[in-house]
Amino acid sequence: MTYQDSESGYNTFEEAFERIKKATGLRTQVEVAKLLDIRQSSISDAKRRKSIPDGWLIKLYQLYGLNPNWLLDGEQPQFLGERKGGALAVMESSDGYGARKPKHHSVPVCAMTLPEETEGGFVETPVETITIADKFYRPSLLVVRMDEEHMEPLIRRGAYVGIDKDRKTIRSGGIYALDLPVEGMVVKRVNYDAENAKLILRSENPSHEDQQIPAEDGASRVIGRVAWVLQEL
């Protein structure tokens, strides 16, 4: 993505990268690359594209509590919640920043598994928080962290999975989050077996067998359709 004001030609990369260095106390691209666990060439690529990758914003929020909107365009507050990791407060003027910049949202991440000794269906239990770009946000969003490998390699264990709870109508071949007895939430590719009036719940990982539930149970079991996945390649 490129965060740029098309009218003024203002590019946020240089300003944002300076904020990253000031807030972290780092001085060189090598130091920043080590902090973000990326190659130095990735910084050169981002500079050429005139964009700050979302992965950097998420990492800096997780490590320091830095507000992505502050990093991109200087919008206060600098921190979301408690300042973490020895981050430095930065004083700067907000003059000159464009009024129309992409926004980010801090959203809770829920556990997929049920707490010990919990009875009943899936309950949204936040365990952490991440920051996502505005285009990935919607009021009906539920974010979970994948805790199994049954959807690998498509969705890896540890990936953040965005689920649209407003999209519960099953379309054969779509990937959905479902609430199953005993298991709690599962993420599966759902296919409709019209002959047997069954929903076939399929894993991407061939070592996991398909599951079946009556088609008539689908409406009560579907939590929502997977809208996006955030994971490392």
SS3 assignment, position 32? helix
Chain centroid to Cα 96, Å, comes to 30
Paired residues of 214 in beta bridges: 198
CB atoms within 10 A of CB 38: 17
Measure Cα distances from 134 to 74, 87, 101, 106 in Å: 17, 25, 10, 10
The pTM for the full model equals 0.59
In CATH terms, 12-89 corresponds, of 1.10.260.40, 1.20.120.1770, 1.20.1260.10, 3.30.70.120, to 1.10.260.40
CATH 2.10.109.10 range(s) for the chain read 106-230
C-alpha dihedral over 199, 203, 206, 212, to 10 degrees? -30
CATH 1.10.260.40 range(s) for the chain read 12-89
> pLDDT: is 182 or 147 the higher one?
147
Cβ neighbours of residue 210 under 8 Å, at least 6 residues apart?
200, 201, 202, 203
> Residue type for 175, please?
I
CATH superfamily for 106-230 is Umud Fragment, subunit A (2.10.109.10)
SS3 assignment, position 25? coil
> Residue type for 56, please?
W
The answer to whether the beta carbons of residues 151 and 201 sit under 8 Å apart is no
| Model confidence at 116: pLDDT above 80 | no
pLDDT one-digit tens code per residue, 1-22:
333 333 333 456 888 899 999 9
The answer to whether the beta carbons of residues 56 and 36 sit under 8 Å apart is yes
pLDDT one-digit tens code per residue, 200-217:
999 999 999 999 999 988
Residue with tokens 């990492």: 59
Q: How confident is the model at residue 102 (pLDDT cuts 50, 70, 90)?
A: low
SS3 assignment, position 84? coil
| Model confidence at 66: pLDDT above 60 | yes
